Structure 1
Amino acid sequence: MGTPMSTNWLEISVAAPREAADAVAEVLGRYGHGGVAIEEPIRPDPEGEGYEVDLTAPVVVRAYLPENAAGRRRLGRLLQALWHLRQVVEFPEPEVRTLAEADWAHAWKEHFRPHRVGPFLIAPPWAEVTADGLTLIIDPGPAFGTGLHPTTQLCLELAAELLRPGETVLDLGTGSGILAIAAARLGAGQVLALDIDPLAVKAARANVRRNRLSRRIRVARGTLKGPAGPFGLILANLSAPVLAELAPAIAGSLAPGGRLVASGLLVGRADELEARYADLGLRPISRRVSADWAALVMGRGQE
């Protein structure tokens, strides 16, 4: 994105009611550096091996900007856009704080513990776990994707159900690389992981090396500008506007008989996106919901 790396970051966070989270995320995504992180209020479940979403608490939407002159200018535009949005949608004023990358990492270490999602055990590198074939060692860095968010969990569960050993997989908007690593653990032949954020690319590459999967996963900075692949399985955990914008490229990159898992969207946008992809030749297969978030599974017929 051409933004110089900085040791300090401006964190903009909004504790939004669920009905306003999508609109807030669209604004923060427009001005933030490399997209947004949507943090569900999560608490450990009574069993101690997983997490559950607190549906009574607000959703926290975060974006980051480098603390430099260009970042401060974008912050001004972002805050102005949020002010206009608050005239029509009710949510609290945003909070802005300066955050060093080291502080960010330390905060994650306090809250990120080993947990299970479907067949996977997800653990940070500083935790002591007994690794097995479906263990994912993830240090998110300043990137989205620890396996705690409902959309990440939906994608992990669906990948475990849908992936065919040996097929080629695209992880679009890879974040920390968690879905790409999961796909490789499930037996994918080759995985391409793309993200427009250089910080996410850096984190994903480090996690791929950490999981010793560099020969099977290629991480690159970028997005789909048109049909590519083709891929047998595409995992796209993005946002509703980005999924709509990239629909022609995503649909055109799916191999005959291939499946798309599209998530990162609230339930209220599911019908609209499903129709968008159906117009491009993909048939709806199933839909899964968790804590107001949806994942769509669509497929291309054998041609």
Structure 2
Amino acid sequence: MKWYEIRVNTTEEASDAVAEMLTSMGAGGVAIKDPFDIRREIEKPNTLDYADEEFLEALGEDVVISAYFQNGLSIDELLKQINEGLANISQFLNIGKGLEGYGEVDDEDWSTAWKKYYKPFKLTDRIVVKPTWEAYEASGSEIIVEMDPGMAFGTGTHETTQMCSLLLDKYMSAGSEVLDVGCGTGILAIIASKLGAESVRALDIDEVAVKVAKENVEINGESVKIETRRGILSDLNQDGQKFDIIVANIIANVIIDLSTLIPYYLKKNSLFITSGIIRERKQDVIDACSKSGMGLIESLEMGEWVAMVFRCPDTL
């Protein structure tokens, strides 16, 4: 089988959103080459790696994302959809150079060879993400989350996902009822369930994202506790359910829009954990949530990104 390899040159801040967009369009795999990851590894204290300035400069500033689509698709229509998706993301984030081009590759050239780049990694001190084919023996209190790279595995490394995971681990209580808004691949819903949530509802507006999330939930054996559905927050009105924790790893504009609704879906004194916020929009999000009566109790920063925890007012 032949595959289209479509390459997008983007920025570090937009790489996660671009990768998610390509996956939601049906990419069979997404590979991310991030020069900033290499720099961060080399700059770690006590690292054994070394690189001179010339090498570091040669890495450039572009994050290169390669997405693989089945050859049977119309390439012109596919490129058009990708450009439209990039244009949408560019309203909120600097996407950089954008679509670079495409080529054709044989199935065996990528579908097995790229697996060597994906190994188990620690998302937090005790949450380990691993590809489905890799063996990993959990030690102590470690929690294992299995993800398939064909389902945008690489996005689990992003700072926003990491910070949300850290905050879920810190604030989750056994028996909590959790809502994941904009669940994407479902990684945060799965983590919440494995941390002891009694039930989790995972919500996304994208049909493909919901399909991917359901598959990941099944892979992790969490189908009994996690309900995944397509829709928006207001669709839950008819249920009247309120949650102990709502988590939303999306973008600042959407968080601001949702801030007036979030308190009505939270129990008294419960928590709203959110990320996907670039530093420049931090205060905007704080102002919007404060206006809705939610008080900031903690914030984290990694790279250019911010995650925050708000407490719902005891009265509405």
Q: What TM-score comes out, normalization by structure 2 length?
A: 0.72
3-state SS, counterpart of residue 265 of structure 1: strand
Q: Deviations over 1:205-261 (max 9, x none)?
A: 122111111110111122213665311111111112222233333343222111111
> Equivalent residue for 2:115?
109
Q: Which has the larger radius of gyration?
A: 2
3-state SS, counterpart of residue 213 of structure 1: coil
**Gaps in structure 2 of 5+ consecutive residues:** 48-55
Q: Deviations over 1:96-152 (max 9, x none)?
A: 336899787657624321011222111111111114661111114344764211111
Partner amino acid for 2:212? A
Identity %: 28
Deviation at 1:165, TM superposition (A): 1.0
Cα separation, 1, equivalents of 2:154 and 2:191:
12
3-state SS, counterpart of residue 203 of structure 1: helix
Q: What TM-score comes out, normalization by structure 1 length?
A: 0.75
Partner amino acid for 2:204? D
Preserved contact between residue 171 and residue 192 of structure 1 (Cα < 8 Å): yes
Q: Does 1:267 align with 2:276?
A: no
> Equivalent residue for 1:298?
310
Preserved contact between residue 8 and residue 98 of structure 2 (Cα < 8 Å): no
> Equivalent residue for 1:120?
127
Q: CA RMSD in A?
A: 4.0
Preserved contact between residue 226 and residue 248 of structure 1 (Cα < 8 Å): no
> Equivalent residue for 1:247?
259
**Gaps in structure 1 of 5+ consecutive residues:** 1-6, 49-53
Preserved contact between residue 141 and residue 176 of structure 1 (Cα < 8 Å): no
Partner amino acid for 2:129? I
Preserved contact between residue 182 and residue 203 of structure 2 (Cα < 8 Å): yes
Q: 1:190 to 1:286 in 2, by over 3 A?
A: same
**Aligned counterpart for 1:92 among listed residues 91, 97, 101:** 97
Cα separation, 1, equivalents of 2:248 and 2:314:
21
Cα separation, 2, equivalents of 1:261 and 1:99:
42
Partner amino acid for 2:121? H
Q: Deviations over 1:265-294 (max 9, x none)?
A: 211111111111111121111110011111
Number of residue pairs aligned between Structure 1 and Structure 2: 280
Preserved contact between residue 34 and residue 196 of structure 1 (Cα < 8 Å): no
> Equivalent residue for 1:160?
169
Partner amino acid for 1:232? D
Partner amino acid for 1:116? K
